Amino acid sequence: MKKGKRIRVLCTFFCFQFFMGTVLSAQESRVTLEQCIQQALEANYSIKIVRNQEYIADNNANYAPFLPSVGIDAQQTQRLNDTKTTVSGEDRKVNGATSDVLSAGVSLNWRMFDGMAMFTTYAKYQEMLAIGELNTQMALENLTVNVSEAYYNVIVQHSKLDASKHSLELSTERFNEARDKYVLGVLSSLELQQAKIDLNADSSKYMKQKELLKSAYISLNMIMNADLQRAMYVHDTIMLREPLIYGELYNNTLAMNTLLQIARKDQKISAMDVKLARSALFPTLDFNSGYNYSRTKTPSATTSLNRTNGFYWGFNLKMNIFDRLENRRKIKNAELEVENAEWSYKETELQTLADLAQLYNTYENNLQIVSFENESADVAFENLDAALEKYKLGSLSGIEFREFQRSYIDAVDRKLSAIYQAKVSELSLMLISGQVKVTN
């Protein structure tokens, strides 16, 4: 008797140690939402691409329009000719005459005035760089929301797995009790078989839910560019914010929505294109300078060596008087593009505000549904607990208990889905109003 007691104590001790080791391991491997987002921002391929596009825009935004161009050239040419000349009726022939021509030089060309086009070009590159930064910001915001949605989906699937496991445990307990009663002769084989069918159904549902959980982890790992087989590292709950206010979201959307900011930049660029087109109406002034060296050796000629070298400099003023109305056409088209950019911004703004209104309507409904489903889940749990006691006392049939069990599982499933949809609506509102904060 004492030996059996010692064995039970040891088993309890080892089970406790195993349980604590599992808990500690889970805590050590726990990954927060912020960590998932940070890993995705560092490793996601789409973010790498959009960052490179921003770097390209940054490389283009330089002082090149204001700087001169400097070039250097060198050339050597050797010739072998047969010549014949007639002087005062006398022919002179030279066969195999050679000549060696060598030239080199360095030149500087600097456009000093071009109708302010260089300043407009530089400002345009700066606006294009700002658009590149906004595109990166928009990609980071979208990625942050996508990671958050995938992360919260994993939490929901974990909770559904727990509920499915609880239902399976109840069905197992019901089957064991039905089998015992059948052996005692107080329960029919029909009800025992029905308990077995329900147990098998819950077992299948539990396995299916494990599959859905693994799929949720795979989706999250893919976004983070992590090991696709990594799992069971999310241990968290979904917490909703304080209810968002439509008026604040409306104002923030107009001021901080990334897509609207890009559209406003497009308007500025269109206005700069008009300035660039009009700059062609002004003259251009260039400064040229350089140094040239030239040497020609012709041993067979009277002048066997000719060499020149020296500096040069000067200004070049040029103005196009008539270009077949090309400038007029370009200016008119640029002005039409400004008008199109304005209409495009208004259309984007209208669509964005319509999306905001739709999202907020869905958000309000989701919050109400969460309230209803929380209450339903609590009531369903109390009913299931009471039904379990009645079933154990024999005052409730297995089929009737199954209805309470199914009602509880459905209520929990609806509750989890409602919370997830409310969180997704919340994230979408934060995204469209420009309130998703990311580290670039």
pLDDT digits (tens, 9 = 90+) for 279-308: 999 999 999 999 999 998 877 666 667 889
pLDDT at res. 254: 96
Least confidently predicted of 91-95, 342-346, 399-403: 91-95
Q: Which of 302, 318, 334 is the last residue of a domain?
A: 318
Mean pLDDT score, 329-345: 96
Percent of the chain past pLDDT 90, that is, above it, reads 72
Are residues 274 and 299 located together in one domain of the fold? Answer: no
What phi and psi values does residue 309 have, to the nearest 5 degrees?
A: -160, 155
The secondary structure of residue 228, as a DSSP letter, is T
Least confidently predicted of 34-48, 120-134, 261-275, 392-406: 392-406
pLDDT at res. 301: 61
CATH classification of the domain holding 79: 2.20.200
pLDDT at res. 110: 95
Instruction: Report yes or no: 388 and 405 within 8 Å, Cβ to Cβ.
Output: no
Nearest-angstrom CA–CA distance, 115 and 280: 7
pLDDT at res. 91: 72
Are residues 43 and 140 located together in one domain of the fold? Answer: yes
pLDDT at 72 over 60: yes
pLDDT at res. 340: 96
In 3D, which of 295, 290, 291, 292 has the Cα closest to residue 76? 295
Are residues 189 and 236 located together in one domain of the fold? Answer: yes
Are residues 160 and 108 located together in one domain of the fold? Answer: no
Q: How confident is the model at residue 440 (pLDDT cuts 50, 70, 90)?
A: low
Are residues 288 and 369 located together in one domain of the fold? Answer: no
Q: Per the structure, how many domains does the chain have?
A: 2
Are residues 221 and 87 located together in one domain of the fold? Answer: no
In 3D, which of 91, 76, 80 has the Cα closest to residue 300? 80
Of residues 134 and 18, more confidently modeled: 134
Instruction: Report yes or no: 148 and 41 within 8 Å, Cβ to Cβ.
Output: no
Residue 9: inside a domain, yes or no? no
Residue 337: inside a domain, yes or no? yes
Are residues 292 and 190 located together in one domain of the fold? Answer: no
pLDDT at 7 over 50: no
Are residues 173 and 306 located together in one domain of the fold? Answer: no
Rounded to two decimals, the pTM is 0.83
Are residues 226 and 343 located together in one domain of the fold? Answer: yes
Q: What are 206's two structure tokens? A: 């539990």
Are residues 305 and 332 located together in one domain of the fold? Answer: no
Residue 354: inside a domain, yes or no? yes
Are residues 34 and 84 located together in one domain of the fold? Answer: no
Residue 391: inside a domain, yes or no? yes
pLDDT at 311 over 50: yes
CATH classification of the domain holding 340: 1.20.1600.10
Least confidently predicted of 24-28, 49-53, 218-222: 24-28
pLDDT at 215 over 50: yes
pLDDT at 422 over 50: yes
Nearest-angstrom CA–CA distance, 314 and 359: 66
* Averaged confidence pLDDT in the chain: 88
What phi and psi values does residue 228 have, to the nearest 5 degrees?
A: -65, -25
Residue 8: inside a domain, yes or no? no
Q: Which domain holds residue 311?
A: 69-113+284-318
What phi and psi values does residue 25 have, to the nearest 5 degrees?
A: -65, -40
- Give 416-419 contacts, CB < 8 A, sequence gap 24+: 416/156, 416/159, 416/160, 416/163, 417/156, 418/366, 418/369, 418/370, 418/372, 418/373, 419/156, 419/238, 419/240, 419/370, 419/373
Q: Which of 272, 299, 318 is the last residue of a domain?
A: 318
pLDDT at res. 186: 81
Instruction: Report yes or no: 46 and 143 within 8 Å, Cβ to Cβ.
Output: yes
Residue 136: inside a domain, yes or no? yes
Residue 10: inside a domain, yes or no? no
Are residues 399 and 296 located together in one domain of the fold? Answer: no
Residue 13: inside a domain, yes or no? no
Mean pLDDT score, 239-246: 94
Least confidently predicted of 35-39, 188-192, 227-231, 374-378: 188-192
pLDDT at 270 over 80: yes
pLDDT at 166 over 70: yes
Q: How confident is the model at residue 2 (pLDDT cuts 50, 70, 90)?
A: very low
